[in-house]
Structure 1
């Protein structure tokens, strides 16, 4: 009976893993929060590989001297609930989840964050907007 339960449990785990298929493959650019520092705002991207690995990266060009800084990291297999992004260059860590068209800034549990910084400029009167952005090809 224990073997049967182990096999059923293993099958259920494999089935749930198979259901977490990435919503797309390829590279998409995104902006969640608009930056306003003097060195240039990083251009972030997500790159979903055919094997389900998800890579996040950024490219930043310093507007003063033209120096380019970039980094890419492997966040592991696609997880629709939450993914941890950690860039070593600037010691930056954040959590996101994404679907086919949008990416969301979340907490470690996958709850979408809300902030005044996430409100679009066109909606200046709004406060505490959900932190999300479009995924661009």
Structure 2
């Protein structure tokens, strides 16, 4: 019985170390792709829970009518390589990875993307910029 209990404790320890610890807990907003005028650019956020669950969400306000659209989805446990956010209302899927200070738009394998859509007004002459954002609290 003592050997079974020791084996059980060992398995739990290995499982705990196998999971990557999220770089922070709490809610952070981000803006990877610069928005354009129209119905309102979504304000994206992520919320990392103490148990490692990561939720992605957005709030979008229609500038003409004032109507607010929101959605939040559970992306699963924190993964430092790549995480998938899939929003149903607008049939939107994107892949990201993040650390304590920034979030990066990636492909399915975790490679950081570059695009002219990710350039700020100051960088518009570059043609292609790294798709990243600092976090806002």
Counterpart for residue 60 of structure 1 = 60
CA drift at 1:14:
4.6
CA distance in 2, matches of 1:65, 1:13: 50
Contact 2:34 2:119 in 1 (8 A): no
CA drift at 1:32:
0.2
Report how many residues are paired.
127
Unpaired runs of at least 5, structure 2: 1-7
SS at match of 2:38: coil
Counterpart for residue 101 of structure 2 = 101
Question: Structure 2 length as normaliser, TM-score?
Answer: 0.87
Contact 2:96 2:106 in 1 (8 A): yes
Question: Structure 1 length as normaliser, TM-score?
Answer: 0.87
Counterpart for residue 121 of structure 2 = 121
SS at match of 1:136: coil
CA drift at 1:86:
0.3
CA drift at 1:54:
0.3
CA distance in 1, matches of 2:46, 2:122: 26
CA drift at 1:16:
2.5
CA deviation profile, 1:8-58 (whole Å, cap 9, x unmatched): xx67665331xx100000000000001214100000000000111000000
CA distance in 1, matches of 2:50, 2:17: 19
CA deviation profile, 1:79-117 (whole Å, cap 9, x unmatched): 000000000010000000000000000000000000011
Structure 1 residues 48-87: aligned runs within 5 Å: 48-87=48-87
Counterpart for residue 34 of structure 2 = 34
Unpaired runs of at least 5, structure 1: 1-6
Query: 1:44 and 2:41 equivalent?
Result: no
Counterpart for residue 18 of structure 2 = 16
Following TM superposition, the consecutive aligned residue runs of length 4 or more in structure 1 with deviations greater than 4 angstroms are 10-14
Counterpart for residue 91 of structure 1 = 91
